[in-house]
């Protein structure tokens, strides 16, 4: 039987002062940090001070004993970041140049000093650039000339920390006669019949040996002979339980085991979990353009998505538990689709396992983003090898529903002046429209492939045409107010978003000793977007009066209001687009997470703290959503029902004054059929007539859609004027605190209190609130649960409560 020995101990990292202890898996930066050689690059402006690390060569070493009782011993690296030479006992085993691949070397009978000598990624990338010619990209670093995580070279939310290291596990594999070189599971469902077809490649040391494949799942067993170096074994499963995305059904997973046998002797075993489901992507033409609608098990769905970036700029630090925590946060917010963005990595099995279990659909980009990529060698061979390996590696996961060729490169060629600057040089089109779809069609025909995002389906339409395929909406935020989200109805919005700073405690940790201000040195260093603060300021100015007061008060108001603006911006988009289902079939918010503490578009900051946007997503992505949106003749009301049951209830509409007076009201019945949207007309006499008035819609009869307790209501609000023009009363409210395992903070409003927010991390760095922004009418109350607050106190709670205040 194949015997695997992990190589985790005894590694050292060469350094000018001598050898340092090294952690494998790991990277140079984390080893230097652990040894006290460099400061934490996430704090202050230390990132700049450690830039030298990415320009150096580094060597990892350990002693290797490869002897065993087997015929063959292989040295296997699951991931090397990135350009390296592997030397054993003074003999070169080979050179590698791709972070996204694994590597295997025959070391049978060889022992001695093992050295992994990493070149600077800059040196490798710049050498390839000099050989193949420069190509345009969105950032000044040469990331498109090396097969490495692009965002390690910096992004508009990420630091430039170009590391090196043995970033995934390494081991010795001892084996005899034969081993399983590759197992490709094709999982299909036809009516009430499920099939797992395992296509197997075998590597041998004995050509003459008769080999057998035995596969099992549950009580189903099948056997097939190996013909030469390959074979196929099929498992037919009657009436399989179907795997569904969260909110549509359960996520049953089946254990599949495949054993390679020589006679009765097992030689190697492959084990995975699979799920039975069908996935289709409707891209057909219709009266509105070209669709982009997912259907799982025949059920068409509006995808409630988030974009995922690497959760740490040093991915080797992301544990199985951290993946699970972050993805569980997504699921708890109502998310059912996670897009693995193309400037990052193919994630670890832990990521996809969690998605399988949580019912999160995975849209997987191939790692190409925001750049023109050369198609010549040495890159072309690397691209094909990594694609073939990772397509097969990820195939077992039922959560994976789409392969996507790239992020924004087809759009960039058309709109970012690349075509002129390239002057005929290759730029990646051959990958996205040729190589990658061929690899997917050959290896994984059970899943759809898209050439890129955004992409209209062909060059017959602009790549980012909202009427065709996927669309990225970045005029909003970059140049326009979020009200412009309502200007069109894209078929599928794969990227859109609005920035906000991280939580207060995250800033305090990241910028120790700094007097916080929007433009303070540390804040500006942790703002990587071009004119990011300028866009934040202009976005605020359209809606709010400029914060005023002492420097600390001014920052606190700026911090709160920018977070409010982020939540409102994303809400404006999602409410509009969900209300236009089925023309629009999905929204994928940019972005769920961060890789360090930074002002960004994330809903969860770099320390894992949810922003108000996160809590707002729980409302926006609930099965049932009530919306009031501006319209030409008054606000438009829509009841969005993504649940499988009819939504029948009662709807109360109230036209109110900001002083709390009810100026008009009516009650009507509400019916929204499953997976549909019901539009209701707001009576003209209830339409607000000026900035002193607003509209409130409350719907009963759908408690399970919002997560509210039975009898709770869904609410939508419409204020016809920007906050700076609304004559709000001075907010008045009472606060009471009830200690417990989860402390209850109850706020009772005496006036209109708009967008009340308890910033629990201001009470204690580890404190978390279970509620985000909430608007209270006079006399209403809300109870907010706070976990991790060691010394509850009502006066302290009041200091952490913020709301919109009247303009001076």
**Per-residue pLDDT tens digits for 316-329:** 999 999 999 999 99
Q: Residue 15: pLDDT band by 50, 70, 90 thresholds?
A: confident
| Other C-beta atoms lying within 10 Å of the C-beta of residue 415 | 13
Output the furthest CA–CA distance in the chain (Å, rounded).
Answer: 90
pLDDT at 711: 38
pLDDT at 808: 65
CA–CA separation, 222 vs 224, rounded Å? Answer: 7
Tokens 């017959």 identify what position?
460
For the beta sheet containing 265-274, the strands, ordered from the edge strand earlier in sequence to the opposite edge, are: 220-225, 211-217, 254-262, 265-274
Q: What are phi and psi of 575, to 5 degrees?
A: -60, -45
Per CATH, the homologous superfamily of domain 3-173 is: Galactose-binding domain-like (2.60.120.260)
DSSP 531: T
Task: Specify the DSSP element, H or E, that contains 323.
Answer: helix 320-332
Helix, coil or strand: residue 17: coil
Mean pLDDT across 186-193: 94
Cis peptide before 56 (omega within 30 of 0): no
pLDDT at 512 over 50: yes
Helix, coil or strand: residue 133: coil
Dump pLDDT digits (tens) for 386-439: 999 999 999 999 999 999 999 999 999 999 999 999 999 999 999 999 999 999
Residue ranges of the alpha helices (H) in 634-694?
Answer: none
CATH placement of domain 288-500+584-620: 3.20.20.80
pLDDT at 706 over 50: no
Give the active site residues: 408
Instruction: Answer for the pair 539, 722: CB distance below 8 angstroms, yes or no.
Output: no
Mean pLDDT of the chain: 96
Tokens 């005894």 identify what position?
10
DSSP 690: S
Mean pLDDT across 49-78: 94
pLDDT at 705 over 70: no
CA–CA separation, 672 vs 183, rounded Å? Answer: 47
Mean pLDDT across 334-363: 98
Instruction: Answer for the pair 620, 640: CB distance below 8 angstroms, yes or no.
Output: no
CA–CA separation, 578 vs 638, rounded Å? Answer: 9
Q: Which residue(s) pair with 232 in the sheet?
A: 199
Closest CA to 746 of 792, 704, 707, 713: 792
Q: 359's torsion region: left (phi>0), alpha (psi -120 to 50) or beta?
A: left
pLDDT at 610 over 90: yes
pLDDT at 102: 98
Global pTM value: 0.96
β-strand pairing of 449-450 with 400-404: parallel
Instruction: Answer for the pair 2, 179: CB distance below 8 angstroms, yes or no.
Output: yes
Task: Specify the DSSP element, H or E, that contains 440.
Answer: helix 436-443
Task: Specify the DSSP element, H or E, that contains 305.
Answer: strand 303-308
CA–CA separation, 172 vs 783, rounded Å? Answer: 56
pLDDT at 17: 73
Instruction: Answer for the pair 566, 503: CB distance below 8 angstroms, yes or no.
Output: no
Which residues lie below 8 Å from residue 407, measured CB to CB, with a gap of 6+?
A: 341, 342, 343, 365, 368, 369, 370, 452, 453
Which residues of the chain are in CATH 2.60.40.10 domains? 177-274, 624-725, 733-802
Dump pLDDT digits (tens) for 726-784: 999 999 999 999 999 999 999 999 999 999 999 999 999 999 999 999 999 999 999 99
Q: What are phi and psi of 233, to 5 degrees?
A: -130, 140
pLDDT at 712: 57
Q: Domain 624-725 falls in which CATH fold?
A: Immunoglobulin-like (2.60.40)
- Angstrom CA distances, 329 to 154, 302, 326, stand at 26, 20, 5
Which residues of the chain are in CATH 3.20.20.80 domains? 288-500+584-620
Q: Domain 177-274 falls in which CATH fold?
A: Immunoglobulin-like (2.60.40)
3-state SS, 235-298, equals: EEEECCCECCCCCCCCCCCEEEEEEEEECCEEEEEEEEEECECCEEEECCEECCEECCEEEECC
pLDDT more than 70, % of the chain? 99
pLDDT more than 90, % of the chain? 94
HSE-up of 282 (CA within 13 Å, CB side)?
A: 21
Q: What are phi and psi of 343, to 5 degrees?
A: -90, 5
Mean pLDDT across 782-800: 95
pLDDT at 720: 94
pLDDT at 703 over 60: no
β-strand pairing of 279-282 with 265-274: unpaired
CATH placement of domain 733-802: 2.60.40.10
CA–CA separation, 547 vs 268, rounded Å? Answer: 66
- Angstrom CA distances, 761 to 568, 632, 753, 758, stand at 22, 42, 21, 9
Give me 573's structure tokens: 């988009």
Angle, CA 367 vertex, CA 363 and CA 371 arms, to 5°: 120
DSSP 119: P
pLDDT at 552: 79
Q: Residue 710: pLDDT band by 50, 70, 90 thresholds?
A: very low
Closest CA to 171 of 275, 289, 64: 64
Closest CA to 211 of 179, 186, 234: 179
Residues in the chain: 808
CA–CA separation, 697 vs 653, rounded Å? Answer: 5
CA–CA separation, 488 vs 478, rounded Å? Answer: 17
Closest CA to 805 of 474, 556, 507: 556
Q: What is the dihedral of CA 128, 130, 134, 135, to 10 degrees?
A: -10
Helix, coil or strand: residue 51: helix
pLDDT at 708: 34
pLDDT at 618 over 70: yes
Dump pLDDT digits (tens) for 674-700: 999 999 999 999 999 999 999 999 998
CA–CA separation, 193 vs 195, rounded Å? Answer: 7
Task: Specify the DSSP element, H or E, that contains 18.
Answer: strand 18-21
Dump pLDDT digits (tens) for 295-307: 999 999 999 999 9
CA–CA separation, 331 vs 260, rounded Å? Answer: 38
CA–CA separation, 576 vs 529, rounded Å? Answer: 26
CA–CA separation, 259 vs 213, rounded Å? Answer: 6
- Angstrom CA distances, 185 to 201, 235, 252, 364, 569, stand at 12, 10, 17, 18, 43
HSE-up of 139 (CA within 13 Å, CB side)?
A: 22
Q: What are phi and psi of 544, to 5 degrees?
A: -130, 155
- Angstrom CA distances, 449 to 236, 241, 444, 535, 582, stand at 26, 26, 10, 35, 21
Which residues of the chain are in CATH 2.60.120.260 domains? 3-173
DSSP 86: E
């Amino acid at each position: 039987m194949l015997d695997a020995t992990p190589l985790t101990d005894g590694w050292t990292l060469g350094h000018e002062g001598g050898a340092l202890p090294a952690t494998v898996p790991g990277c140079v930066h984390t080893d230097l940090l652990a040894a006290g050689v460099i400061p934490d690059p996430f704090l202050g402006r230390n990132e700049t001070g450690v830039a030298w690390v990415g320009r150096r060569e580094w060597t990892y070493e350990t002693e290797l004993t490869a002897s065993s009782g087997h015929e063959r011993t292989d040295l296997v690296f699951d991931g090397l970041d990135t350009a390296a030479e592997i030397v054993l006992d003074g003999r070169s085993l080979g050179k590698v140049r791709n972070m996204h691949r694994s590597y295997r070397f025959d070391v049978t009978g060889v022992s001695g000093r093992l050295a992994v000598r990493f070149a600077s990624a800059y040196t490798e990338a710049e050498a390839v650039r000099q050989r193949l010619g420069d190509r345009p990209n969105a950032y000044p670093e040469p990331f498109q000339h090396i097969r490495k995580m692009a965002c390690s070279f910096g992004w508009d939310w990420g630091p430039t920390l170009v590391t090196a290291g043995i970033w995934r596990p390494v081991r010795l594999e001892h084996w005899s006669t034969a081993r399983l070189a590759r197992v490709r599971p094709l999982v299909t469902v036809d009516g009430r019949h499920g099939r797992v077809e395992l296509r197997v490649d075998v590597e041998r040391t004995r050509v003459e040996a008769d080999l057998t494949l035995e596969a099992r799942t549950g009580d189903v067993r099948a056997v097939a002979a190996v013909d030469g170096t390959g074979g196929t074994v099929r498992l037919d499963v009657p009436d399989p339980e179907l795997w569904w995305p969260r909110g549509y059904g359960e996520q049953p997973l089946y254990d599949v085991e495949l054993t390679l046998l020589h006679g009765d002797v097992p030689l190697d075993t492959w084990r995975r979990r699979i799920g039975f489901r069908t996935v289709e992507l409707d891209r057909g033409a219709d009266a509105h353009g070209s669709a982009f609608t997912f259907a799982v098990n025949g059920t068409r769905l509006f995808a409630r998505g988030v974009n995922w970036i690497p959760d740490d700029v040093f991915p080797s630090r992301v544990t199985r538990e951290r993946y699970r925590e972050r993805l569980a946060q997504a699921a708890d917010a109502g998310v059912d689709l996670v897009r693995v963005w193309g400037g990052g990595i193919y994630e670890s099995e832990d990521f996809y396992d969690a998605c399988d279990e949580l019912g999160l659909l995975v849209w997987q980009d191939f790692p190409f983003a925001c750049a023109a990529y050369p198609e010549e060698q040495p890159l072309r061979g690397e691209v094909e090898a990594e694609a073939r390996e990772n397509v097969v590696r990820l195939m077992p996961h039922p959560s994976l529903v789409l392969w996507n060729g790239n992020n924004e490169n087809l759009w960039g060629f058309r709109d970012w002046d690349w075509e002129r600057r390239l002057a005929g040089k290759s730029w990646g089109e051959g990958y996205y429209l040729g190589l990658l779809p061929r690899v997917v069609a050959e290896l994984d025909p059970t899943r759809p492939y898209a050439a890129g995002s955004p992409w209209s389906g062909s060059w017959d339409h602009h790549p980012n045409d909202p009427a065709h395929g996927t669309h990225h909406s970045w005029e909003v935020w970059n140049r326009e107010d979020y009200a412009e989200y309502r200007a069109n109805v894209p078929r599928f919005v794969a990227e859109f978003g609005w920035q906000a700073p991280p939580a207060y405690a995250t800033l305090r940790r990241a910028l120790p000793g700094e007097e916080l201000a929007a433009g303070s040195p540390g804040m500006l260093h942790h703002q990587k977007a071009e004119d990011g603060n300028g866009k934040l300021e202009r976005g605020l100015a359209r809606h709010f009066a400029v914060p005023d007061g002492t420097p600390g008060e001014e920052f606190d108001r700026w911090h709160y209001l920018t977070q409010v603006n982020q939540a409102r911006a994303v809400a404006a988009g999602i409410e509009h687009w969900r209300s236009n289902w089925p023309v629009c079939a999905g929204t994928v918010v940019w972005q769920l997470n961060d890789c360090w503490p930074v002002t960004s578009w994330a809903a969860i900051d770099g320390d894992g703290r949810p922003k108000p946007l996160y809590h707002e997503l729980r409302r926006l992505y609930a099965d049932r959503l009530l919306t009031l949106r501006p319209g030409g003749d008054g606000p438009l009301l829509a009841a969005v029902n993504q649940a499988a049951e009819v939504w029948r209830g009662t709807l109360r509409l109230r036209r109110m004054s900001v002083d709390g007076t009810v100026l008009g009201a009516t009650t009507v019945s509400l019916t929204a059929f499953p997976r549909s949207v019901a539009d209701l007309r707001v009576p003209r006499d209830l339409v607000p007539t000026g900035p002193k008035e607003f509209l409130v819609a409350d719907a009963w009869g759908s408690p399970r859609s919002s997560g509210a307790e039975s009898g709770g209501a869904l609410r939508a609000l419409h204020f016809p004027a920007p906050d700076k023009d609304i004559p709000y009363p001075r907010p008045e409210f009472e606060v009471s605190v009830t200690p417990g395992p989860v402390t209850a903070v109850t706020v009772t409003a005496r006036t209109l209190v708009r967008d009340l927010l308890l910033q629990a991390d201001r009470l204690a760095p580890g404190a978390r609130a279970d509620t985000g922004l909430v608007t209270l009418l006079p006399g209403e109350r809300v109870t907010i649960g706070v976990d991790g607050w060691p010394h509850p106190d009502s006066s302290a709670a009041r200091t952490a409560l913020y709301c919109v205040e009247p303009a001076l």
